Amino acid sequence: MNDTPEAGSGPLSGLRILDLTQFLAGPYATMIFADLGAEVIKLEAPVGDWSRVLPPNFVGEDSCYYLSINRNKQSIVVDMKNDEGLEVVRRLADESDILVENFRPGVLNRLKLTYEGLSKRNPGLIWASISGFGQTGKDRDRPAYDMIVQAISGGMGMTGEPGGSAVRSGIPLGDLSAGMYAVIGALAALEERRSSGKGQYIDISMLDCQVSMLCYQAAYYLHSGNNPGRQGWGHDSIPTYRGFNCANGSSLVITANTERMWQALCDVLAISELKEDARFTLNEDRYENRHELWPILEGAFMIHEADHWVPLLLDAGIPVGEINNLEKSLANPQIVERDMVLPLVNEDGDVIRVAGNPIKMSRTAKKSHEYPPKLGAQTAEILGHVLGADADEISKLIDSGAVKEYAPKNAKGD
């Protein structure tokens, strides 16, 4: 732990993360650590992370879901229902900087794995816990998944077309934001440890994270008492910050939020007469008369497809983006050039392409990325290099059922 990073190994090289997570929020957090060069030990039950078997897409034995969020990690299989297995977990925690888990509150307590107990053995240990509702409050024991917290937070209630049903976000914001906040909290605790020498417990609630992301919408309501309705593809303050349909089923989003942009938009769309229309002179006028303005703008946009308008609007200094599907998005040269489509290859020649790391660092970026590990692929290696176990001890742990090594599915009769 805490060695000097080698060139190309990432800024967090020398940091060890004990990863007791599965599904999405926790593995996403630990993948961020791994992308930044930390050693991440993914500790799995004998059945493995349940995301390994989520349909519909698989590469080899593992699902694309699992493969998308577990690169650059090592896998060890430990049976935490086995007393020797539990001691392996404790010993790994002794040698780790940060432990990340996303069990429901109380589960690890019942296994006698607690922050209080582990921090007595390793006072510098930082424990980051991710749960649906946090470790306190009346709902602490309530189960939660991404869409549940999107709904409860109020964010889902603002998403969808006005007058229509609420719609969840197309990406799992509840899980991903909790994972990111866990990393931020753990790195803050790590920085504090430099002066105190002590770790601490970090309590991350998925619901808290979603409420935090309500941002100005929460402030608007708390100030005015007015509940925002469904936002659709518009903005509740800027009438020309919204989406518009174009010809042949295409669509785009524009931001014309200054007077210069507004006048340029009118010129590009060949509706210059609107610049002199008293209903639309200033932003507050356009906001007041937005329901009259929007059909006029959409009528102009419908003359051509989105890809006709995009370069014209950009040339006029108006921020614009075509509303893409993933096929178009992931083929975008800007995205590809910045390594946001990342190919990973394992020793069997299996290939998976996944979304890349958005953190670009000038001096200490991690230069290579490893394919997500097979279940238990590094069990013996981790026991040896982290715990100093010799071949005899490793063999005894395997024979007792405390740990397991990787076995191909066909070798297990599956």
Active site residues: 175
Label the pairing between strands 62-63 and 58-59: antiparallel
Instruction: Count the Cβ atoms, other than its own, within 10 Å of residue 362.
Output: 5
Distance between CA atoms of residues 78 and 49, nearest Å: 12
Distance between CA atoms of residues 323 and 216, nearest Å: 25
Which tokens sit at 39? 């050693």
What's the longest Cα–Cα distance across the chain?
86
Whether the CB-CB separation of 72 and 31 falls below 8 Å is answered with: yes
Q: What amino acid is encoded at 137 in this protein? A: G
Helix axes 259-268, 306-315, angle to 10 degrees: 130
Instruction: Count the Cβ atoms, other than its own, within 10 Å of residue 245.
Output: 16
Distance between CA atoms of residues 401 and 81, nearest Å: 10
